[in-house]
Structure 1
Amino acid sequence: MLPTSHQNSYQKFLDTLLALREEVELPNFRVTAISEKLQKVQQVFQEEVMLLESDDLPSDLAFRFTSVQTEIHRALRLLGTDMLFCGRQNR
């Protein structure tokens, strides 16, 4: 189980992800609105989640925690690249 501070940061990140999903699922979505939501997701991840330390976690959990953070960071970068291509195609 993660400490409360970690849980709070991940909950805030989850909330921004859910807001992004809602925007994407709209029948007449706008690429600019999705891009803004994605920027918010990336911002929350950088300012809240990436700053979390694994030092106070048990070693097995610390390893998984670091791996998950790395994979989320990679996925967000790829999603950002996808949004760039999507924005260019809609011009």
Structure 2
Amino acid sequence: MANIKSSKKNSIQSENKKKNNNRKKSIIKTYVKKVRLFISLNNFTKAIFFFKKMQSLVDKYAVKKVIHKNKAARYKSNLYMKIKNIKIKELNN
């Protein structure tokens, strides 16, 4: 346990930041799951709707360094490619 007042304060602040970051990461994971669900159901409109919301959150949290920028780019790239494949399948049928 810290003895110095500033060290105690720093410990409390880091715990609060950790809780907030975990909450934000959980929100991102939830949106990614929703996008993947609608991709698996071949529902293009809902998949793109949740993708846009997920994309803005991921970009915002990548700038704030909650998640790494490359991880954000990977999420967006992989999901967008899958959504694009749904659209191509719809056009072919």
Query: TM-score of the superposition, structure 1-length normalised?
Result: 0.58
Q: Compute the RMSD of aligned alpha carbons.
A: 2.8
Runs of 5+ unmatched residues, structure 2: 1-17
Counterpart Cα distance in 1 of 2:83 and 2:32: 17
CA contact (8 A) 1:20 1:37 kept: yes
Name the % identity. Answer: 7
Q: Deviations over 1:4-55 (max 9, x none)?
A: 452253144145236426x62xxxxxx5xx1022112311212322211454
Which of 27, 48, 62 is the aligned partner of 1:9?
27
Q: Hey, which of these two has a bigger chunk of helix by percent?
A: 2
- In the alignment, does 2:91 pair up with 1:73? no
Question: Could you tell me which of 42, 55, 59 is aligned with 2:51?
Answer: 42
Q: Which has the larger radius of gyration?
A: 2
How many residue pairs are counted as aligned between the two chains?
A: 75
Whether the 8 Å contact between 1:10 and 1:49 is mirrored in structure 2 is yes
Structure 1: segments with no counterpart, 5+ residues = 25-30
Q: Retained in 2: the 8 A contact 1:16–1:40?
A: no
Calculate the TM-score normalised by the size of structure 2: 0.57
Letter in 1 for 2:81: L
